[in-house]
Structure 1
């Protein structure tokens, strides 16, 4: 069932955190000071929640209420732990195909990727707690409801997810223009996880360094790169082709 709630006000957000509400992202007013505001910041950092500092105009657009410089969004879904997600997929007997999104920031790209992932039988999507696109109404709309049909997991760092995949016998393939091999030179037949990077920076160098394989798409035109959601679709459908 779809659920999207916006919480406004410093004390209300603090209570929501203490009540273990599934908070996806918190918007805080830039330059705001005060003891209670600092207490909220400390709590958010302790819980490693996704924080974005924005101008007051942004907050005013998000809520017409007296937000006190703080607005939180509760995710419409429940997130899996990486342990439960990987274990359940391995126990199912199906060949795992995971998708790791390294700080993808655009909500519509995120939604489009979720939709393609569901259509290509992806076992689960792993995202980072901080720095990525929020799971909100735009995500739901762009995913065409696929977000309710595919497991999504949050981790502190994508590199931690890479190590966990590798320890579980799952090969990690990084999608990067810096690769020598194309997607047609790499095998997707065995259990694997594909890493897609952010729109501007790509995959973090530390994640690239520990990945098992690197692959790129052949670019025949003058434009040097594809939109990340389009590139992700090409990678996923190559995996589908190889596994048929």
Structure 2
């Protein structure tokens, strides 16, 4: 919980949810009981806020804040719903370029990726509801403010965005070290969504299976892979190169 802005207490977090504040995550003490706690959890799920159940020790440093077993972190950016965002982009761009992040967990990697997305003309970046780094003050700093310039969307699972994009005529191209095809043989000129995976596991097998194309970067030497933000930059600039050509 390293964000600079937190909300403490059940009623305060409930009010924040009801007023549609950009809440990134809610930390709830394990075993917390009571009607207000149940109402909070129900509303959080309805609003799509991420819930984490933590032992009492995790909230100990907030003991002087009367947190009542609940602490919420506020995102500096409010993410859009993925379906209307996709519709809006497709309606205004002939060959849109989307970027889907399947589990990027480091806030600085996320910021660097969003910065590159802004520089390469990505029309929207879509993140899953869980399993991805939060947008914190560090993310904003690393992105050089790009988090406020590139439309950011949130979906329940990356597969939901993949299916919706495919149904909308957008091809899905995933980055995978095990792919037989290299990036430079892929056609990225038409409407495309690039999918980058997590630092440790890459793109999930379920997403690789349903993608239209799986490609890799040619590698030499003894290092097996690039940092995800660097790899993402290579992928995005290949899309730029093809589209300029």
Settle same-fold status: TM greater than 0.5: yes
TM-score by length of 2: 0.89
TM-score by length of 1: 0.90
1-structure distance, mates of 2:96, 2:148 = 19
2-structure distance, mates of 1:34, 1:177 = 46
Please give the secondary structure, in 1, of the residue aligned with 2:185: coil
What residue number does 2:51 align with?
A: 51
- Equivalent pair of 2:102/2:196 in contact (CA under 8 Å): yes
What residue number does 2:68 align with?
A: 68
2-structure distance, mates of 1:141, 1:56 = 31
CA drift at 1:84: 2.8
Unaligned runs of 5+ in 2: none
What residue number does 1:205 align with?
A: 205
What residue number does 2:227 align with?
A: 227
Query: How big is each residue's C-alpha offset from its partner over 1:183-204, in whole Å with a ceiling of 9 and x where there is no partner?
Result: 1111111110001111222212
Mapping 1:74-223, distance limit 5 Å: 74-223=74-223
CA drift at 1:145: 0.3
How many matched pairs?
240
2-structure distance, mates of 1:223, 1:63 = 46
Distance 1:80 1:40, change over 3 A: closer
- Equivalent pair of 2:128/2:155 in contact (CA under 8 Å): yes
Query: How big is each residue's C-alpha offset from its partner over 1:124-145, in whole Å with a ceiling of 9 and x where there is no partner?
Result: 0000112211122111111110
CA drift at 1:63: 8.4
Please give the secondary structure, in 2, of the residue aligned with 1:218: coil
Q: Which moved more, 1:205-214 or 1:74-83?
A: 74-83
- Equivalent pair of 2:79/2:154 in contact (CA under 8 Å): yes
Please give the secondary structure, in 2, of the residue aligned with 1:184: helix
- Equivalent pair of 1:8/1:63 in contact (CA under 8 Å): no
Query: How big is each residue's C-alpha offset from its partner over 1:74-94, in whole Å with a ceiling of 9 and x where there is no partner?
Result: 222232232332233223244
What residue number does 1:24 align with?
A: 24
Unaligned runs of 5+ in 1: none
Mapping 1:30-41, distance limit 5 Å: 31-35=30-34, 36-41=36-41
Distance 1:85 1:62, change over 3 A: farther
Please give the secondary structure, in 1, of the residue aligned with 2:182: coil
Q: What is the Cα-based RMSD across aligned positions, in Å?
A: 2.0
